Chains A and B, each alone.
Chain A
Amino acid sequence: MEGIYGIWLRDITKFFRDKARLFGSFTMPILFLLIFGGGLSGTMESMMGQMTGADGDFNYVEFVFPGIVAMTLLMTSIFSSLSIIEDKDFGYMKEILVSPVSRVSIAIGKMLGAATVACIQGIILFMLIPFLGLTYDFVSLLLVLPFMFLFACALSGLGLLIASVIRSTQGFQMIVQILVMPMIFLSGALFPINNMPAWMHTIVMLNPVTYGVDVMKKIMIDVDSLSPEVVEAMGLNLEIFGRLITIPEQILFIAVFAVVLVLLATVSFRRTNA
């Protein structure tokens, strides 16, 4: 436990010490909110209004905000896992690997560190809610936090696994380009996943981010107050094999995903002869 705490504490300390990274972490999500929230909302809302016929009921900013929080979680979790490559490059990984800290503790410590950093960024975004004219229920924001942490753990686990097989920072950037971007765009984070070609829909359903985004939206958006047409238009009736998926099922799926990835990352540490 002490080992997990030490590894976690180190990454958190370094996150707050790195001024450039701290500042950069504020700017990117805000930029996305401006572009997607401000720039796209008019177009999206008029398109949705035509589709559903229920004009004015569809608030795109309300729809996209949880998506952008999820996207921030994804980016930050994966990028924070990059620290493991730095640790190898700068030799610190050796100090950890020759210590009595178990390999699974190293993986868990790293995962929790990246997930914590990601959640801090998510919470920073919450502070923008009043300025965006959004009215999420305060209780729903509190409820979504534990899920955000679980989701971030799963994504950090994925980052760790990538980091453990990639040797260089450049290689990592490439993986991010070919993996992270599609994971965001094909998840329903930024636009509803309706009327897609079948092959694309299959990818969406295989993408774990889809379920994370869906749960966050269902918790944060007051779905019951919306007309059924709007809920459908938002793509919130996620089905698999023609059956509606429930929130507990999705949470279970994310949790299993997180555990499996941490175990895989542990195995890769065991192989490492740093």
Chain B
Amino acid sequence: MNPIISVRGLRKNYKKTEAVKGIDFDVEEGEIFGFLGPNGAGKSTTINMICTMINPTSGSITINGYDVASQKARVRESIGIIFQENTLDEKLTAYENLMLHCRFYRVPKSERQRRIEEVLEIVDLQAEIKQRVDTFSGGMKRRLEIARGLLHYPKVLFLDEPTVGLDPQTRAHLWEYILRLKEEQGITMFLTTHYLDEAEISSRVAIMDAGSIIALDTPDALKRQLGGDMIELATEDNALAQQEITKQSTPESMTEHEGTLFIRTDDSNRFISQLLPTLTPAVTSLNIRRPTLNDVFLSFTGRSISATKGDG
């Protein structure tokens, strides 16, 4: 597979701070690329540079074979962007918003009507075509924005916090649309989100912190890299249990949080079958799970992503 986005030595300095410290990565054609990072990690700066919105201090970006610095118009034609905030004109109808987009992106006149109907069908908004956008619900607006982003048949769709501010049901629906898009249209997606369970659908995930990319792999590989399973254990005397566990084995990590011990271990079978029965304090609850992206994020950045909610 060929990289559709290629970033080399990308750097951005603001007066005194280095927002992005020379990063390299590729996004493969047809993948969902999850881009995660705590607040102020340089995520937004990086995306804005890729989307031609701000100029890098140094380094190069290629999208769909076009150079972002010298072929801005070509790059802009190749990408669709769903911004975190609403960028529809709410005083206009859905149709008018889409038609304007066709004009901005020079969609051939003979194609416009057909494409507008096509993208509205993808997001299930055919019936609302003549309605003004200010009558739409939050979820409908998001869907319309996604439809608009698809009108010019972009090679890459950027989704910046696409589900922020939506209720869980609408979120789930939106992901159905997005996944269907990937399967049916094969569009490459560049995704940022604060909901790490949503990032699980990514083909690969990059974690950015303090201006650098500190991890880049498939979600499974990242979780494997953490190793083993997460055991959540609560006993009648956690302090004593901790002592006894460390005496008999060396777990990868063990932390206590709100009355529960979080133990990461390579061999959860041995832990359950041999070590657990020997504990003196009675076990009140036990849960074994695979590490999640949240555990990965926590271990790489030392912070939980939910604590960094907001624009990174």
A residues with a Cβ closer than 8 A to B are 2-3, 5-6, 9-10, 13-14, 17-18, 90-92, 94-102, 273-274
Contact = CB atoms under 8 A, between A and B. Distances in A.
Interface in B64-98: 72-74, 76-77, 79, 81, 83, 85-92, 96
Given A91-B86, A91-B87, A100 B92 contact: no
30 contacts: A5-B103, A6-B103, A9-B100, A10-B89, A10-B100, A13-B96, A14-B91, A17-B91, A90-B89, A91-B83, A91-B85, A91-B86, A92-B87, A95-B101, A97-B53, A98-B51, A98-B52, A98-B76, A99-B76, A99-B101, A99-B105, A100-B72, A100-B74, A100-B77, A100-B106, A101-B104, A273-B48, A273-B53, A273-B54, A274-B53
A17 B53 CA distance: 31
Given A91-B85, A98-B81, A100-B73, A3 B103 contact: yes
B239 to A, nearest CB: 53
Nearest to B103: A6
A270 B298 CA distance: 39
Interface in B31-84: 48, 51-54, 72-74, 76-77, 79, 81, 83
Contact of B90 (A2, A90, A102): A90
B63 to A, nearest CB: 13
Contacts of A102: 73
B164 to A, nearest CB: 14
A188 to B, nearest CB: 38
B71 to A, nearest CB: 10
Interface string B148-164: 10000000000000000
A9 B86 CA distance: 21
Contacts of A14: 89, 91-92
A2 B51 CA distance: 22
A6 B73 contact: no
Contacts of A100: 72-74, 76-77, 104-106
A99 B87 CA distance: 13
A92 B76 contact: no
A90 B90 CA distance: 9
B299 to A, nearest CB: 34
Which 6 A-B pairs rank lowest in CB-CB distance, beginning with the nearest? A6-B103, A99-B104, A91-B87, A100-B73, A100-B76, A95-B87
A13 B74 CA distance: 29
Contacts of A6: 100, 103-104
B83 A94 contact: yes
A100 B48 CA distance: 15
- The residue among A14, A98, A273 with the most chain B CB atoms within 10 A of its own CB is A98
A254 B219 CA distance: 62
- The residue among B76, B79, B91 with the most chain A CB atoms within 10 A of its own CB is B91
A13 B103 contact: no
A13 B79 CA distance: 28
Contacts of A13: 92, 96
Nearest to B78: A100
Nearest to A6: B103
Given A3-B103, A100-B76, A100-B106, A94 B87 contact: yes
Given A94-B87, A99-B101, 20 more contacts: A2-B104, A2-B106, A3-B103, A5-B103, A10-B89, A10-B92, A10-B96, A13-B92, A14-B92, A17-B91, A18-B91, A92-B88, A95-B87, A95-B101, A95-B148, A97-B53, A98-B76, A100-B104, A101-B104, A273-B54
